[in-house]
Structure 1
Amino acid sequence: MSVPGSLQIVTLTVSSIGYETVQRQVEVGDSVFFGLSVSYKTLCDLTINPSWKAGLSSGVRYAPLGASIHFLGSHHIPSSLKLHVDYQTNLRQNHAFIAGVELPPLLRHNQFTITEQVSYQQFQAAPAKLQFRAYSATVGLGVYRIGSVRVPDLLVGAGHSRYQTLQRPEAAAETGYGYIVGLRRSFGYPLRALVLVQATRWPDFWQLQGSASRAVFGKFSAGVSYQQLRRYQEVSLTLSRYFY
């Protein structure tokens, strides 16, 4: 974007439906890049983003029955918070439970964003002979573009875990702190997908996590996720519906 040569400093305002308005002062001859953040305001009493989504899920190895619910703000909670709960079970010894809260962004300025999330996860699988639970806090560092390239968000964090083998219940549980690294990338139209990969280094083992979800049939989304730690490996499938 260029500015009139007869002025030294001008104020530019850029706006678009569905995005936050950005205003910035620039000097003559400067090249300016504007990265617009999605707006959660309403237009004509119609919410432009879904307020929550609910779905059914199934693990292919240990826990075939499950459900998920994600609150995305608006009517139920403040729009700056996002909550999600996922639970799967085989109605006996195996289960998987994951809950998380995405907090208000620490920074949202032009093309830079800093987001944070706290999570709790718990897995138990008799065939894998393990019981595992962990608390973690993750920060997402986002840059909209580097040059002309859309880059993924960098995820870094830390947590504390407890691992108990079911093969020897009398043995002491393994506890300790770990660190988290990962990448998250959202894709716009026509893919309309979100992909995440994450690795956590606990004291004696790695935990690998990955997920991909995509909007389908308008108000629905389909997803697949993967979890691995020691002998535990699980692939889960989810079909969800958005509610506005």
Structure 2
Amino acid sequence: MSDETPDDPELAEEAEIGSEFAAEGSEMSSILGDAYRGELDRETTWRSRLDQTTTWGVTVVAAILTWAFSSGDNPHYIILIGMVSVSLFLFIEARRYRDYDVYRSRVRLFQQNLLADALDPSEGLEHEDWRSKLSQDYRTPTLKVSIWEAVANRFRRIYLPLLAVLLVAWLFRITAFAPNEDPLVTAAIAGIPGTFVAVLVALYYGAAIAIVLWPRSREAKGEFEEGDPGEWKESS
């Protein structure tokens, strides 16, 4: 940081106030504690928004399946409409997940470097410049996760199982509900051939699986790591 004093008296006064807070350990501890509680509250708020979107998706799937199998006269393509609806919820949730990750990454900086170090200083800091990183993030907040990583994350955790249920339901609907017809004939929608519909569905699910399995470095902060969930690890 530069030691030069700003020419503007107001800026100089603000810089001096900031320096005083940084110099006072008790004041800084209080500020960081309040900041941590604030970020934790924002993280919880965005977590609840993610849950709301998931609830909408599950509700829509349940309603569509109930109606689709309530009568043999109901068209099978209502299940395809359900797939489109779930995909819409997926992208809404992915956008919310990117905002959620902003606040979760800040909370993780506090936990990894402030709380963890206070509990066990022998391990040292996770990030030596964590206060600078946090300061920069407050000055210029940025999204840290790409839209494709967010989509892949929500696919793996929530939406792939929902879409799998819809796929099984659609296949059952065009086969078991019309045993005397060719499934590709039953899959037709108005003037659209059933073969074309089946190919579109196959391409959609192929793309979904590719997004989930495509290898890429993970940018999301604070994800639970894979490992044995059993006992606490003893410090060496």
Higher relative contact order (CA 8 A, sep 6+): 2
Q: TM-score, normalised on structure 1? A: 0.25
Name the structure where helix makes up a greater proportion of residues.
2
Scaled by the length of structure 2, what TM-score is found? Answer: 0.25
